[in-house]
Amino acid sequence: MRVLVTGGAGFIGSHTVVELLQAGHEVVILDDLSNAKPSVIDRITQITDAKPDFIHGDVRDRDIVGDILTRGGIDACMHFAGLKAVGESVERPLSYYDVNVGGTVDLLEMLDLHGVRTFVFSSSATVYGDPDVVPVTEAMPTKSPTNPYGKTKLVIEEILRDLHGSDGRWNIAILRYFNPIGAHESGLIGEDPNDIPNNLMPYIAQVAAEKLPKLQVYGDDYPTVDGTGIRDYIHVVDLARGHLAALDRIMRLGGLSVWNLGTGRGTSVLELVAAFEAATRARIPYEIVGRRPGDIAETWADVSKAESELAWKAQAGIAEMCADTWRWQQHALRLE
């Protein structure tokens, strides 16, 4: 197939592009490079010996999206483009609604206009809000998320349900990610934020590389094993492979389906710090600070639905995720 991947130069998008190319698909990447670097395209080619088409642009630019689709040949769209920092979304909610919700509506309208109705959406476990019980299953009701980032994901999910309800020709996969970390085993691509990292693992890696002085741990008074937040960390390559499994499923069977993508195991912030130190022999100094707005105590996935319906299961453990992140961080330092 020929797949349009929005946000395909970013962290999760780039790893999914690698998996698509290695599976024999053709890829068109649309990315505005607001949180990615153009060198990623060359690194994808190094890994796969296949070059994706790259278009520099915004999903809200209907002229650019229309031009891609007018050329024809696009069979499906994987939609990663969007703003994703929880804390920043609390400070800048209008930007998040504009880019995430508005951009998705613009994209869907252009896809519909050109008859491309197979769509894989990058959603988030934040749509479960602060869950009453863990692990969370897809059958659990969604709640109002605790931050605007999560709210944009939930709004988009509802848009997709309404779209499918109005037109059964749409085949839609909604993938609720837990916490992607790690990097490609080659060390050529990984999470590479343009500014100070908003996510935990790249922040840990930059502290280990002495680019940042210490890690700030937001809260140690949660009702968890050590007082720090617990999340379900999944290797980004496992996550990327989940996208291909979901695409294959909806291409064969159609409809709209929702799947959690995680490992089914929870790890606290301090447990992740200890695992990183053990896997890399780097030292991670940290300080405990106040809770961050929008955070919750704990969440992890029930992944039995994805395992049974997609024949997919996360393979990598925390030690491998940490080692791959560190390999990527060391490679990134050499490129600077």
**Catalytic residue annotation:** 149
Give the β-pairing of 179-181 and 233-235: parallel
Residue of 264, 93, 108, 237 whose CA lies nearest to 172: 108
Q: Is 108 exposed, middle or buried (0-12, 13-18, 19+ CB in 10 A)?
A: buried
Q: Give Cβ neighbours of residue 240 (< 8 Å, ≥ 6 apart).
A: 12, 15, 16, 18, 19
Task: Describe the crossing of helices 11-22 and 39-48 by its angle, rounded to 10 degrees.
Answer: 30
| CA of residue 54 relative to chain centroid, distance | 20
Separation CA 198–CA 293 (nearest Å): 13
Distances (CA, A) of 89 to 123, 267, 285: 15, 24, 27
Residue 253: CB atoms within 10 A of its CB come to 10
Distances (CA, A) of 314 to 239, 260, 264: 7, 11, 9
For the chain, the straight-line distance linking the first and the last C-alpha, in angstroms and rounded, comes to: 36
Residue of 43, 48, 71, 67 whose CA lies nearest to 57: 67
Separation CA 166–CA 234 (nearest Å): 34
Q: Are 144 and 103 in contact (CB under 8 A)?
A: no
Q: Are 193 and 206 in contact (CB under 8 A)?
A: no
